[in-house]
Chains A and B, each alone.
Chain A
Amino acid sequence: MRIFSIICLSLIAYCATAQVRLLKLDELDKRIANGKDTTYVINFWATWCSPCVAELPNFEKLRLANLKKPVKVLLVSLDFKSKLQKEVIPFVQQNKVNAEVFLLNEPDQQQYIERIDKKWSGAIPATLFVNKKARRFYEKEFTETELKNTLLNLK
């Protein structure tokens, strides 16, 4: 019985946190490298960034339109790590975000900004389209149509 309840509790804890995982850039690079023909649309956002929050539904539409294609939408939050439980997870639950959500677990902005793209000023929203052949970075807000076209034109 005790073991059972421990398993239950840990399952509940797992589900509660499973929605938003911490992510290192090394892990992201590995995932892209192992992604075969998958194109990753990686949006950098934060709960406090209003234009980011406003464009999130466009990423959900892109995800739904490409469910059967080798396309993955990843939402990488730049919120503080200390806000994971209090702000990021509740936000994801309340807004029923279905794409994979991560919180970037890199302490040094200077390093990770440069690593993601040399031209990036650090402003968000910003989005990276990447597969094994192409890598395009945009420091801008996207409409639904722009997302669709950028994905289509990625070479």
Chain B
Amino acid sequence: MKRLILMAFMLISGVAFAQTEGYKVGDVVKDFSLKNVNNKMVALADYKDAKGYIVVFTCNTCPVAKAYQARISALNAAYAAKGYPVIAINPNDAEAVPDESFQKMQALASEKKFNFPYLLDPDHIVTKQFGATKTPHVFVLNKTDKGNVVEYIGAIDNDPEEANTTKVEYVKNAINELSTGKKPAIASTKAVGCSIKWKKAKYNLATIADEFAYIA
């Protein structure tokens, strides 16, 4: 019984912790090595000439992410040559959503002719490091002597449906500012997106919480 209470406490504090983790603007990013759709591993350090990165958490199935696919390709086309390549990461678990499988990622990347890496993040390790919560979710990084510093977190623009007459292109603006040595004027934004489809936990949290409430 005591063990159960302890476990419930650990789980609850674990969840509370999970909500606060993740990079904030100004944090230095830990490098990662993830498998690309071409089966090769990709790390930030592979890009020797990069001045920074556009890390995009995106996926195969989310309607919002799909609406942004062409814009993500366009970002890479415009900024990779200027030193800011797009690195796309799929944070979703394929067991939770079969259409998020590696094979389906490969199919999408070849169908849409992705000109940037599209990486698998099994067990959500990198996703959790970044603190990504939805797709699409962008982190603009700036390479410095300290490491890769997060300079912008949020949406690509404020116009998911391409219907906003007062469109602001947050990511483009942030990179334009960074490339002239300035800090982005808008360093974080909010957006509606699809929640990340996490791997199912071995313990059902709700059941344990109920049990805990019963004991208490």
User: Chain A residues in contact with chain B, CB under 8 A?
Assistant: 46, 48-49, 51, 78-83, 107-111, 113-114, 120-124
Contacts and interface: CB of A to CB of B under 8 A. Distances in A.
Contacts, number: 61
Interface of B: 62-64, 67, 133-134, 155, 158-161, 163-166, 168, 189-195
A109 B158 contact: yes
A86 to B, nearest CB: 12
A123 B134 contact: yes
B63 A113 contact: no
A114 B155 CA distance: 14
Contacts of A49: 194-195
A124 B192 contact: yes
Contacts of B133: 121, 123
Contacts of B63: 46, 48, 79-80, 83
A109 B164 CA distance: 10
B161 A82 contact: yes
Contacts of B159: 107-108
A48 B195 contact: no
B155 A109 contact: yes
Chain A interface, >50% SS class: loop
Contact of A107 (B165, B189, B195): B165
B190 A114 contact: yes
Contacts of B67: 80
A136 B192 CA distance: 19
Contacts of A46: 63, 192
Contacts of A108: 158-159, 164, 166
Which of B158, B190, B194 has the most chain A CB atoms closer than 10 A to its own CB?
Answer: B190
Which of A51, A81, A121 has the most chain B CB atoms closer than 10 A to its own CB?
Answer: A121
A110 B194 CA distance: 16
A78 B166 CA distance: 19
Contacts of A124: 192, 195
